[in-house]
Chains A and B, each alone.
Chain A
Amino acid sequence: MNVFRFIWHNHGQVLELTLEHLRLVGFSTLFAMLIGIPLGIVIAHRPRFNKPVLASANIIQTIPSLALFGFLLPVPWLGERADRLAIVALTLYALLPIIRNTYTGIRGVDPAVLEAGRGMGLTESQLLFHVELPLAVSVILSGVRVAVVISVGLATIAAAIGAGGLGEFIFRGLAMVDDRVIFAGAIPAAILALVADFGVGWVERRLQPR
């Protein structure tokens, strides 16, 4: 109960850090979608690029997050503001699930459907927007869902470079050896992850083709 009392007493700060956290996750997921979905579409249509793109995204994923934040710190424009850097790093991490699921979703469209569509005179862009994307949307969104959940967790580490977010409590609690403070960061982060997971899942079900 101590934990909740602590959170209650500091609810202003908890809320503030939660919003900061949400901002880091929101922007990075948005950017990752803006980059990852078009990239996934391209590699689904041009298999030549599929290996290099997926391999690059995979390699980024293997870099320990703390190290990635460190690597990006000396980069000129990025290093100037911690939250900017954190958003870029989180975007990079979110790319893999989004690119991979877009690729998988589009490749999963029945070849007979595409052949029929081409044969009846749909242009490539009509095929993409009327057929491929609507049929792939739930697979793409489940990639977004994975990306969001990963980002909520990773964003806590962004506090190590001063980017704010719920990681502040976690690092402070670690330094103070105080469980309550750690939980004040960890519990809202977990709730955030669950809510985001549920939210994207809901959209995913709404858009599911029959």
Chain B
Amino acid sequence: MQPATAIPAIEFRDVSYHVAGTPVLSGFSLQVQSGETLVLLGRSGSGKTTSLKLVNRLLSPTSGDIRVKGVSNAEGDVIRLRRSIGYVIQDVGLFPHFTVQRNIGLVPRIEGWPEDRIRARVQELLQMVGLAPETSLRYPHQLSGGQRQRVGVARALAADPEILLMDEPFGALDPLTRDELQREFLLLRQRLHKTVVFVTHDLREAVRLGTRIALMEAGRLVTVLTPKGFLQSTDPLASAYVRAFGEGLESAANRGTS
């Protein structure tokens, strides 16, 4: 048996990504350990979303290698890879012509699960993300923004992936709903032990949800720190972030699910 810590869940090895000759990401190397929540923090255009999409191969790197559980993700079937990784985006992207049940159950259905197992799984997931059972028969346009994102998270968890990629999932929600979903995210994480890569530009969210924070700027990785380490960092960019977000960060780091 191999020790679990030996192989990172996700590893970027000197990855670059160019669009029409312009680098969006350069010399990016990072390891994400199994079971941790790594937050990619940075401003718009810093390469956070690009890094995320390189993991499930929605984008292919110009150079370098991305390994998922030790295996280069350029090898093997891209569809299998994506089905083994949950993906949640800010705009949610629920299928508007499907009920919640069909949205969540689409991949299990395509994978050929029997109908009653899909139904049971949908109910289990709805409960997990804090939605009432009867939500399963609703259409996305009948839900609030917060409910929609809960369904988005449930859909990403449908086939029980070990890795979850989340691209500013709570960015479009009002502050109260965001707070609620952040708290539930922490509870869910305790329960499910997923490896999560979480993109945000909100330091408060990063400090609250991350086990580690990777700070990015202009397509490069600046530093990787724990939330507490980040708040005490002397790195000029990190301390600029801390100043910009001001007071109350310490308590956010300590608050967790309370």
Q: Which residues of A contact B (CB under 8 A)?
A: 110, 112-123, 126, 130-131, 134-135, 209-210
Contacts and interface: CB of A to CB of B under 8 A. Distances in A.
B82 A119 contact: yes
A113 B82 contact: no
Contact of B94 (A116, A121, A122, A126): A116
B92 interface: yes
B45 interface: no
B96 A121 contact: no
Given A121-B80, A121-B82, A116 B96 contact: no
B86 to A, nearest CB: 8
Contacts of A115: 58, 89, 91, 93
Contact of B92 (A116, A122, A134): A116
B165 to A, nearest CB: 8
A130 B98 CA distance: 10
A169 B140 CA distance: 54
A131 B140 CA distance: 14
B214 interface: no
B94 A113 contact: yes
Interface of B: 56, 58, 79-83, 86-87, 89, 91-97, 106-107, 110, 139, 141, 152, 155-156, 165
19 contacts: A113-B94, A113-B95, A113-B96, A115-B91, A116-B152, A116-B155, A117-B93, A118-B82, A119-B87, A120-B82, A120-B83, A120-B107, A121-B80, A121-B81, A122-B106, A122-B110, A123-B79, A130-B106, A209-B97
A206 B102 CA distance: 20
Contacts of B106: 120, 122, 130
Given A119-B56, A119-B58, A112 B83 contact: no
Given A118-B82, A119-B56, A119-B89, A210 B107 contact: no
A72 B79 CA distance: 48
Contacts of B89: 112, 115-116, 119
Contact of B96 (A110, A123, A126): A110
Contact of B95 (A117, A118, A121): A117
Counting chain B CB atoms within 10 Å of each CB, which of A119, A126, A131 scores highest?
A: A119
A210 B139 contact: yes
A158 to B, nearest CB: 39
A210 B98 CA distance: 8
Nearest to B111: A121
B230 to A, nearest CB: 28
A121 B97 CA distance: 19
B155 A134 contact: no
A90 B93 CA distance: 40
A119 B89 CA distance: 9
B85 to A, nearest CB: 8
A116 to B, nearest CB: 3
B93 A110 contact: yes
A130 B141 CA distance: 18
A110 B80 CA distance: 24
B21 to A, nearest CB: 20
Given A120-B83, A120-B155, A135-B97, 5 more contacts: A110-B93, A113-B96, A120-B106, A122-B79, A209-B97
B87 A134 contact: no
A112 B92 contact: yes
Contacts of A113: 93-96
Contacts of A131: 95
A57 B227 CA distance: 60
Contacts of B83: 120-121
A119 to B, nearest CB: 3
A210 B96 CA distance: 7
A36 to B, nearest CB: 23
A210 B97 contact: yes
A117 B97 CA distance: 13
A112 B91 contact: yes
Contacts of B58: 115, 118-119
A110 B94 CA distance: 10
A121 B111 CA distance: 11
Contacts of B92: 112, 116
Nearest to A116: B93
Contacts of A210: 96-97, 139, 141
